[in-house]
Amino acid sequence: MSRKWTAADMPSLAGKLAVVTGANSGLGYDTALELARRGAEVVLACRSRDKTEAAMREMRAAAPGAKLEFMALDLADLASVRGFADAFKARRKRLDLLCNNAGVMALPLTRTRDGFEMQIGTNHLGHFALTGLLLDRLQSTPGARIVNVASMAHRWTRGLDLDDLNFERRRYNKWDAYGKSKLANLVFTFELDRRLKKAGGKVLAVAAHPGYSATNLGFAGPAMEKSVLGKLFIEVGNALLAQPAAMGALPTLYAATADDMQCGDYVGPDGWRQMRGHPKKVGCRSLARDPELGTRLWGLSQTLTGVRYL
């Protein structure tokens, strides 16, 4: 790119339909806002109706005429994921963009309704199931894309222990678990890309990461632990080191709309250590693109979620 890409460079999205998970705050909010600003109809897939409706009022004030809809989705509950998919498909015959953005970070050991460790369950398994359940709508829509939001944290763990993905036997470390969930996001993206190509599909599967962005994501863990120091650590980091959430959303928006995106691309900030800056295509650790690991994670994810596709 000869100059820095911004949301103003997005093409018109009139007539497009997008689903953004976790769209009521942080990166998801800015992602949904910019998609709507460019004319897309955006389904905000979130847990809380009240918080999401408040977010939609703010979006409409910033982008009059924005086409927005709340639909309930709790990624930590596979019944909710199936309910969302059923409700969506009952009313919609197409889907241009699925943005798997929602996530949790560095929580004390907690389990989803289905018994999964909360971070792998929400960040990976919930999105794996959602993607599979919506894939038919994506495949029937020309030019459709799936964007999985990963993280620099995929480098913070030694790897994925598929014999104990849910920390049922090993000692739990909340940051290691977060890193594993983000590594799983990338392994899933690239395995999905391989399977789509093999099936002859035209859906684009790509990934993006926001660098270090100031959002509320890091506050849930300290709140659950009642840790004043943990809360202070996040506050200081957000204030001194992080870029605004609107900047952090740019890699996702680029991955979702730029015309030079290709299957399996990964987008992040162009600044020092990819912590901040404007979007560009970036590399990741080689383990994320390991086809053997991808095959094994895919099979385990199908078994755990009961969702089989491709």
Reduce the DSSP state of residue 123 to 3 states and report it.
helix
Q: Is 29 a catalytic residue?
A: no
97/78 Cα distance (integer angstroms): 21
Which of 29, 178, 254, 266 is flagged as catalytic?
178
Total Cβ atoms within 10 A of residue 49: 12
Residue where the block lists tokens 């994506």 = 138
Structure token pair of residue 137: 């709508």
Partnered with residue 69 across adjacent β-strands are: 43
Structure token pair of residue 71: 């639909």
8 A C-beta contact, residue 166 and residue 120: yes
DSSP symbols for 163-217:
TSTT-SSSPP-HHHHHHHHHHHHHHHHHHHHHHHHHTT---EEEEE---SEE-SG
Q: Which residues are catalytic?
A: 178
